[in-house]
A and B are shown apart, each in its own frame.
Chain A
């Protein structure tokens, strides 16, 4: 059974940093692209970043470029999202997802809440 378990969320002040982790199991992690998708409270979904299966290429939405870094450790079957210079508009539930290429997302974690507020 595919499982994606996020951790690392919480309350952080604007301008500070936070690092999310996603532990994957139930599939060969190194064979799949992975991504982060977020959902602001009572809002819709927004793709944040994707990474290829090797980690050699990464993709970001414009609003997080230069502030967020997606990475992975295939030996540990873990996906990461380093979030720097956080803004109030980054407040959301962040979902770890398994990607079919960089296209769509066939499995989602339970989500982790990130609140950016002073």
Chain B
């Protein structure tokens, strides 16, 4: 199975700050990567697919990048509604998720 390792596991950031979350795959996943946002007590929502394609309706302050085994999710100008846990998911070989990154406000 392909293992997905997210970092950091948690982070604290201020409003307006830029945040980066990393996701490392145990082997090349050829950009077959999605990012999800899960707000407290809610179900996950798709943010990014194919590593860098923004899902309809998702604010443009979210962006994804990367290739090979290394990927990242960037949030520009952090807003209070961005407090959530973020998960990456690979779909190159079956489907596995990262362990999540919990984002809180400083």
A: which residues have CB within 8 A of B?
44-47, 50, 59, 61, 95, 100, 102-111
For the complex of A and B, 4 pairs with smallest distance between CB atoms = A104-B34, A103-B91, A47-B95, A108-B43
23 interchain pairs, CB-CB under 8 A: A44-B97, A45-B44, A45-B87, A45-B89, A45-B97, A45-B100, A47-B89, A47-B95, A47-B97, A50-B95, A61-B94, A102-B95, A103-B95, A104-B34, A104-B91, A105-B44, A106-B46, A106-B49, A108-B43, A108-B45, A109-B43, A110-B43, A111-B43
CA of A109 to CA of B44, assembled, Å? 9
Which residue among B34, B43, B46, B94 has the maximum number of chain A CB atoms within 10 Å of its CB?
A: B43
Contacts of A109 in B (CB 8 A): 43
CA of A100 to CA of B87, assembled, Å? 17
Contacts of B76 in A (CB 8 A): none
Interface of A is mostly: strand
B55 at the interface (CB under 8 A from A): yes
B: which residues have CB within 8 A of A?
32, 34, 36, 43-46, 49, 55, 87, 89, 91, 94-100
Contacts of A46 in B (CB 8 A): 97
CA of A61 to CA of B98, assembled, Å? 16
Contact of A44 with B32 at beta-carbon distance under 8 Å, contacts A104-B91, A105-B46, A109-B43 already known: no
Contacts of B34 in A (CB 8 A): 103-105
B97 touches A104 (CB 8 A): no
CA of A46 to CA of B87, assembled, Å? 11
Contacts of B49 in A (CB 8 A): 100, 103-104, 106
A95 touches B97 (CB 8 A): no
Partner of A95, one of B44, B55, B94, B100: B44
Contacts of A106 in B (CB 8 A): 46, 49, 55
Contacts of B95 in A (CB 8 A): 47, 50, 102-104
